[in-house]
């Protein structure tokens, strides 16, 4: 279907599909990696309408998860330009908003997505085009969070970037990024007692309510070796927040950082439940100082 629209003012549909069974994890809901993939597709769709000859890279992607997505769910995303902002090095960046809806029209997830031109230049023409298309969002803004400067103590991933994980520019895609952080979270939770046996026997899991991804301008390509470290930031009665850092092994540079907030989860009742005290104690030993 050809899109004849010349502008992208207001929220417009940028994705339509469904949740496949193979996209669901051990907790029977869509893995967070596939939210990253779909929001990446949505951002490309809205920006292509406005700047078809320009390429963009993700700077940050912050997501709230309001409702679980289960296999067989039909979904759609609507997106809008929210304006332009100034980056850490004073470069202009595009700020987008996304809403992921289920077939009944419920907003299951919402995201704030910041992207920068790949050539790091946003000339006045592009800036004016983006700002002319900007619309207001009713979504609650993401409040700043304070993160540690150091990496977590637990080694939580080491592997190589596969060719099927790279995007059209030849770099690690959003799917490849978030998939690794999902694995890092599994390693971290295993370290405090949420093993495969615990999940199966106790019918417990972990469900996200917020994630925040921040990417460095340079991203690895196929064949690069990467490693992650992880740690906890805070431990509640049923809630946990954690941080993961992904590093390029060859150069030693951090290429991504991922913040996760979620709850210990009853897989049958589909609700948060208190963590065992032994799990909270082990998590405390891996908690980082801010």
For position 118, what pLDDT does the model report?
85
Task: Enter the pTM of the model.
Answer: 0.94
Would the CA dihedral through 205, 207, 211, 216 be positive or negative?
A: positive
The pLDDT value given to residue 8: 52
Residue 1: its pLDDT value, please? 55
Dihedral over Cα of 206, 212, 216, 221: its sign:
positive
Neighbouring C-beta atoms of residue 269, cutoff 10 Å: 9
Q: Check residue 3 and give its pLDDT.
A: 57
Q: Which residues contact 201 (CB under 8 A, 6 or more apart)?
A: none
**pLDDT on residue 5:** 46
3-state DSSP assignment of residue 57: strand
First vs last Cα of the chain: how many Å apart?
50
In CATH, 1-142 is 3.10.450.50: no
Contact 263, 280 (CB under 8 A): no
From the first residue on, what is the mean pLDDT of each consecutive set of 10 residues in the chain (290 residues)? 55 97 97 97 96 93 97 98 86 94 96 91 86 91 94 97 94 97 98 97 97 96 98 97 98 97 97 97 94
CATH superfamily for 144-290 is Hotdog Thioesterase (3.10.129.10)
d(CA 237, CA 280): 8
Q: How far is it, in rounded angstroms, from Cα 56 to Cα 114?
A: 10
| Helix residue spans in the chain (DSSP H) | 32-50, 124-133, 174-191, 196-202, 277-285
For 170: left if phi > 0, alpha if psi spans -120 to 50, otherwise beta; the answer is left
Bridge partners for 62 per DSSP: 112, 212
Listed by start position, the domains of the chain span: 1-142, 144-290
Whether 144-290 and 1-142 are alike in CATH topology: the answer is yes
Question: Coil, helix or strand for 142?
Answer: coil
Q: Given the structure tokens 């940050």, which residue do they identify?
A: 60
């Amino acid at each position: 279907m050809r899109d004849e629209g010349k502008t992208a003012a207001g929220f417009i549909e940028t994705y339509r599909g469904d949740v496949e069974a193979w996209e669901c994890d051990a907790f029977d809901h869509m893995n967070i990696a596939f939210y990253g993939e779909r929001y990446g597709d949505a951002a490309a769709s809205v920006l292509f309408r406005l700047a078809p000859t320009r390429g963009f890279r993700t700077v940050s992607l912050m997501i709230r998860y309001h409702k679980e997505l289960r296999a067989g769910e039909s979904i759609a995303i609507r997106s809008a330009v929210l304006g332009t902002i100034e980056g850490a090095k004073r470069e202009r960046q595009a700020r987008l908003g996304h809403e992921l809806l289920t077939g009944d029209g419920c907003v299951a997830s919402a995201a704030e997505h910041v992207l920068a031109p790949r050539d790091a230049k946003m000339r006045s023409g592009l800036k004016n085009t983006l700002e002319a298309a900007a619309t207001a969002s009713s979504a609650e803004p993401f409040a700043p969070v304070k993160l540690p400067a150091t990496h977590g103590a637990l080694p939580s991933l080491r592997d190589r970037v596969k060719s099927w994980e790279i995007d059209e520019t030849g770099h690690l895609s959003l799917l490849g990024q978030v998939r690794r952080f999902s694995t890092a979270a599994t390693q971290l939770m295993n370290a405090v007692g949420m093993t495969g046996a615990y999940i199966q026997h106790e019918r417990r899991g972990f469900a996200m309510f917020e994630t925040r991804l921040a990417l460095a301008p340079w991203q690895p390509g196929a064949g690069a070796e990467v490693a992650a470290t992880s740690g906890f930031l805070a431990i509640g009665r049923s809630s946990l927040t954690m941080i993961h850092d992904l590093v390029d092994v060859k150069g030693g540079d951090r290429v991504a950082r991922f913040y996760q907030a979620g709850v210990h989860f009853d897989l049958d009742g589909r609700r948060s439940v208190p963590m065992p005290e032994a799990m909270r104690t082990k998590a405390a030993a891996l908690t980082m100082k801010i």
